């Protein structure tokens, strides 16, 4: 496998920064070649608040990934989250002069570009423009308009918006760490790629990614992204509550949460006690697990109710918005004991924990299939898919994929199949790629 077929996902989180380097094996699964992890010191609630510390953490994670994999890292796909992210729905249309010709990629690009020109609030920038459903000459609910005749092309869009300064700060950190920004992706979308199946997206599902500083939500229905939100609470506020409630230091509070924490107070008895060493020769503190779980339960309940309010605002209780596949929990915070049962109790929906192991090669390290690495795996997948899109546009994908197919087919039908797949993929490339290019120009001009 050539070096240019290797991609790197960089997850700049509140508690940790993860660099994951990998490639696709002959079965289309992701083979992780190396992973680097560093404590995130300059990020709070998904937003960079100390440039120098963030650059150092990124460099540390990259160096570790390089030494483990033996590969030089130049380009990365970066995730973006934080409380500054918001989403909105927008409808737009174009009138085609040549209605006697079929709709093609150029028409879709024209419509997407029109949405990119929307005037946002001061200091805001459009990150993603995601088409949902199209309408051609008043014919609604069209998922793929390419190849159809029509004079008026209309679409509903899910538009993700973020603060220009926060986006620029992330780009600045990546650039100062000696890396090129290959692409930038909303973190809940990356996590969704890693842990959700296509069947779940079709049936209707809410992905809740509980990180250190934020909790990200992404709702899918009929295979389309319907709603995204970032709630500015995560695992760190639970640790902070334990620290205050038990009068202990943050490091002890985090260990207590991970080792003995539970989101369900009924599980613990009053007699279950954990002893915490005192500071500098002071007497050890004794904390009952019942009290610990009460502290955790109160904060987790608040976070889940915030998320559930967002899900209800989407309209999941209506027949049209019904989420048949329920909720999928992922992220480091989803590993909290009895969290799944509490979420089921609060929401009344089916809940499962999302692991990113479905897309990983069979011989991958067990640590990588932890929900804490879901975003990093999703970003790595985005990087590899971007390379595939580039190969499709160059027409080189046939040669590389030929050995993968076990069933031998004639040359001509295969070429027709690829041209069918090529059009929508090229279109996806255009608006993701154009944002990245515009963002790179923005960074260069800022200097």
Say if residue 265 is exposed, middle or buried (CB neighbours under 10 Å; 0-12, 13-18, 19+). middle
According to DSSP, residue 114 is labeled: H
Tokens found for residue 328: 């999928």
Q: Using CA atoms, how far apart are residues 118 and 96, in angstroms rounded to an integer?
A: 20
Task: Note the pTM of the prediction, 2 decimals.
Answer: 0.81
Question: Are 99 and 75 a contacting pair, CB within 8 Å?
Answer: no
Give the pLDDT confidence score for residue 238 in this predicted structure.
Answer: 94
Is there a contact between 234 and 330 (Cβ–Cβ < 8 Å)? no
> What percent helix, strand, coil does the chain show, rounded to 5?
45, 25, 25
DSSP string, 404-442: G-SS---HHHHHHHHHHHHHHHHHHHHHHHHHHHHHHHH
Q: Going by C-beta distance under 8 Å and a sequence separation of 6 or more, which residues neighbour residue 425?
A: 388, 389, 392
Contacts (Cβ under 8 Å, ≥6 apart) of 58: 10, 12, 17, 19, 38, 173, 174, 177, 179
**266-289: average pLDDT:** 82
Residue 439: pLDDT band with limits 50, 70, 90: low
pLDDT given at position 374: 93
Q: What number is the average pLDDT over the span 338-365? A: 90
Rounded Cα distance, 301 and 346, in Å: 8
In our burial notation (b when 16+ CB lie closer than 10 A, e otherwise), range 357-387 reads bebbbeebeeebbbbbbbbbbbbbbbbbbbb
What value does the mean pLDDT take over residues 58-80? 92
Residue 39 CB partners (closer than 8 Å, separation 6+)? 15, 16, 17, 57
For 410, the token pair is 């004639």
Confidence at 277, pLDDT banded by 50, 70, 90:
confident
> Does 339 have pLDDT greater than 90?
yes
pLDDT digits (tens, 9 = 90+) for 236-262: 999 999 999 988 889 999 999 999 989
pLDDT per residue over 395-429, tens digit each?
655 444 444 444 444 444 444 433 343 444 444 45
Predicted confidence band of residue 325 (pLDDT cuts 50, 70, 90): very high
- Choice between 430 and 324, residue whose per-residue pLDDT is larger: 324
Query: Which of helix, strand or coil describes residue 260?
Result: helix
Q: Read off φ and ψ for residue 102, nearest 5 degrees.
A: -75, 155
pLDDT of 438 strictly over 70:
no
pLDDT of residue 447: 60
Cα(435)–Cα(193) distance, integer angstroms: 20
List, in sequence order, every residue forming a beta bridge with 205; answer none if it has no partner: 220
* CA 393 to each of CA 339, 381, 383, 428: distance values in angstroms, whole numbers, following the listed order: 45, 18, 16, 12
Which residue, among 170, 177, 181, has the nearest Cα to 60 in the 3D structure? 177
Sign, Cα dihedral of 44, 50, 51, 55: negative
Do residues 276 and 242 touch, judged by C-beta distance below 8 A?
no
Question: What contacts 252, CB < 8 A, 6 or more positions away?
Answer: 243, 276
- Give just the sign of the alpha carbon dihedral 414, 420, 421, 426: positive
**In sequence order, what are the residues at sequence separation of 6 or more whose Cβ sits closer than 8 angstroms to the Cβ of residue 233?**
214, 215, 299, 302, 303, 306
């Amino acid at each position: 496998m050539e070096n240019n077929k290797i991609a790197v996902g960089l997850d700049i989180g509140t508690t940790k920064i993860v660099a994951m380097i990998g490639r696709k094996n002959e079965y289309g699964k992701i083979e992780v070649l190396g992973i680097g992890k560093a404590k995130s010191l300059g990020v709070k609630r998904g937003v960079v608040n100390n440039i120098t510390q963030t650059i150092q953490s990124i460099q540390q994670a990259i160096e570790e990934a390089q030494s483990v994999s033996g590969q030089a890292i130049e380009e990365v796909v970066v995730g973006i989250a934080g409380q500054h992210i918001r989403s909105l729905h927008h409808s737009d249309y174009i009138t085609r002069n040549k209605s006697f010709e079929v709709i093609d990629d150029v028409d879709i690009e024209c419509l997407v570009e029109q949405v990119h020109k929307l005037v946002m609030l001061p200091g805001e920038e459009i990150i993603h423009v995601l088409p949902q459903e199209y309408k051609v000459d008043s014919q609604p609910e069209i998922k793929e308009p390419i190849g159809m005749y029509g004079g008026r092309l209309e679409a509903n869009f899910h538009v993700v918006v973020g603060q220009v300064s926060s986006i620029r700060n992330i780009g600045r950190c990546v650039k100062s760490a000696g890396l090129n920004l290959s692409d930038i992706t909303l973190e809940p979308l990356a996590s969704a790629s890693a842990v959700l199946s296509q069947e779940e997206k079709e049936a209707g599902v809410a992905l809740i990614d509980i990180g250190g500083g934020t909790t990200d939500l992404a709702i899918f229905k009929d295979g389309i992204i319907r709603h995204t939100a970032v709630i500015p609470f995560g695992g760190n506020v639970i640790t902070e509550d334990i620290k205050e409630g038990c009068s202990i230091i943050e490091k002890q509070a985090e260990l207590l949460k991970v080792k003995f924490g539970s989101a369900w107070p009924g599980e613990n008895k009053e007699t279950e006690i954990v002893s915490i060493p005192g500071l500098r020769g002071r007497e050890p503190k004794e904390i009952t697990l019942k009290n610990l779980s009460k502290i955790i339960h109160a904060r987790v309940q608040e976070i889940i109710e915030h998320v559930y309010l967002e899900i209800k605002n989407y309209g999941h209780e209506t027949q049209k918005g019904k989420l048949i596949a329920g909720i999928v929990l992922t992220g480091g915070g989803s590993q909290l004991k009895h969290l799944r049962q509490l979420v089921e109790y609060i929401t009344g929906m089916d809940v499962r924990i999302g692991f990113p192991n479905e897309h990983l090669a069979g011989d991958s390290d067990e640590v990588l299939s932890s929900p804490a690495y879901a975003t990093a795996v999703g970003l790595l997948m985005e990087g590899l898919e971007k390379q595939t899109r580039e190969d499709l546009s160059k027409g080189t994908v046939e040669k590389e994929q030929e050995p993968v197919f076990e069933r031998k087919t004639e040359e001509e039908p295969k070429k027709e199949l690829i041209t069918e797949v090529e059009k929508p993929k090229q279109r996806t490339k255009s608006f993701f790629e154009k944002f990245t290019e515009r963002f790179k120009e923005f960074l260069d001009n800022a200097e």
